[in-house]
Amino acid sequence: MEAVELHALVMAGGGGTRFWPRSRQSHPKQFLRFRGERTLLQETVERLAAQIPPERTWVITSAAHRAQAVEQLAEWLGAEQVIGEPSGRDTAACVGLGAALVSRRNPQAALLVVPADHIIEPVQEFRRAVHAAVQFLRDYPDRLITFGIRPTYPATGYGYIRRGELLGTRQEVYASQVREFREKPNFATAEQFLACGEYFWNSGIFLWRVETILDELAQRRPALHAAVREIAAAWNTPQRDAVFQSLYSNLERISIDYAVMQDAGQAGRVLVVHAPFQWDDVGSWLALERHNPQDGDGNTVQGLHCGVDTSRCVIVSDAGHLIATLGVRDLVIVQCGAATLVTTRQSEADVKKLVEALKKRGLDKYL
């Protein structure tokens, strides 16, 4: 594999329920600003722009959010690069469709797959890691590559990757054979992973030749593989919308990790690049503390707040909406429109449960 034509697939279809009430069905997490002026989706596409031209960058989101994505990405991408799924079928379908579309252009191309809602910095280190991964792909063209994040604490909210034999460096970035993928652990197991030094967090960032991932899908998920190939074949025909709607909506709902990566890892077909960058999947409201300044009492505030005897709180409100606090500590308070969330630091990771409770109560208009 002498020259690599690199494409990018941005997966932007998630619902972001952990960020309710700011993240809504009409305006999920990837379309929100968590720092500065860029949304997470805009940051992601901008991060790719220096290495991958716009005509080789693809964004897959839900059909309901396609217009929003096109508007946010007009600075970088044409509307034809943004695809709206007729229904969410998880990441295996998304990856399969992206790979099949790229393969129609160039079956020897490589595809970098990135989630739309992560914070990565510094950008230069991300680009160095991608460049190194492409070099590893030249040397191991039949392998699947994932990017592992060296853990800094015993996280229970991430899947883990156990590395095996070290395969060397490219651009001063290491890569190893993958021994196994592990599910999200309990705290005691996460502590063991951290102490062991052989484990990485699974970032959900991948690189592979499009035909390699399609071959894996053909072997492990043949119905899904056949469907995305058929959709891609109809893409530039008058039948595109009808074929896309009828086939995609009936695909198996499964992640690429379960569909391919875990079995491929056991079979020795996956490499892990030791990512040199800092990574945050922005998985809860407490993530705001890591990317925004705090006041003298340890509060992170976005919006209008007046507090007395208030410490270690995360407080978010709409412009012009005052949140006043007295004698509170370790709270998360988020106001957005007609909905307000109040929870503790200990419970805020369970916001999904609250969203499910709202659905059961028939309060969908607040979702």
DSSP assignment of 56-77 equals GEEEEEEGGGHHHHHHHTTTT-
pLDDT of residue 2: 55
User: What Cα–Cα distance (Å) separates residue 281 from each residue in 111, 115, 288, 335?
Assistant: 21, 9, 11, 22
pLDDT of residue 349: 82
DSSP assignment of 295-314 equals -TTS-EEESEEEEEEEES-E
> Which tokens go with 201?
């967090």
User: What Cα–Cα distance (Å) separates residue 255 from each residue in 37, 139, 220, 258, 279?
Assistant: 31, 27, 13, 5, 21
Q: Which region holds residue 230: left if phi is over 0, alpha if psi is between -120 and 50, else beta? A: alpha
Segments in the chain below pLDDT 70: 1-2
Residues 166, 86: Cα–Cα separation, whole Å: 42
> Which tokens go with 15?
């619902």
* Nearest in space to 333 (alpha carbons), one of 294, 365, 299: 299
pLDDT of residue 1: 44
Domains in the chain, ordered, with CATH?
6-280 (3.90.550.10), 285-366 (no CATH)
- How wide is the angle at C-alpha 280 spanned by C-alphas 212 and 44, nearest 5°? 60
Q: In this structure, what DSSP letter does residue 183 have? A: P
Phi first, then psi: what are they for 257, rounded to 5°?
-65, -50
> CB 146: neighbour CB atoms within 10 A?
27
Tell me the average pLDDT of the chain.
Answer: 95
pLDDT, tens only, 110-143 = 999 999 999 999 999 999 999 999 999 999 999 9
What is the pairing mode between strands 322-329 and 57-62? Answer: unpaired
Residues 235, 248: Cα–Cα separation, whole Å: 13
pTM of the model as a whole? 0.92
Residue 248's SS3 state is: helix
Cis peptide bond prior to 141, omega within 30° of 0: no
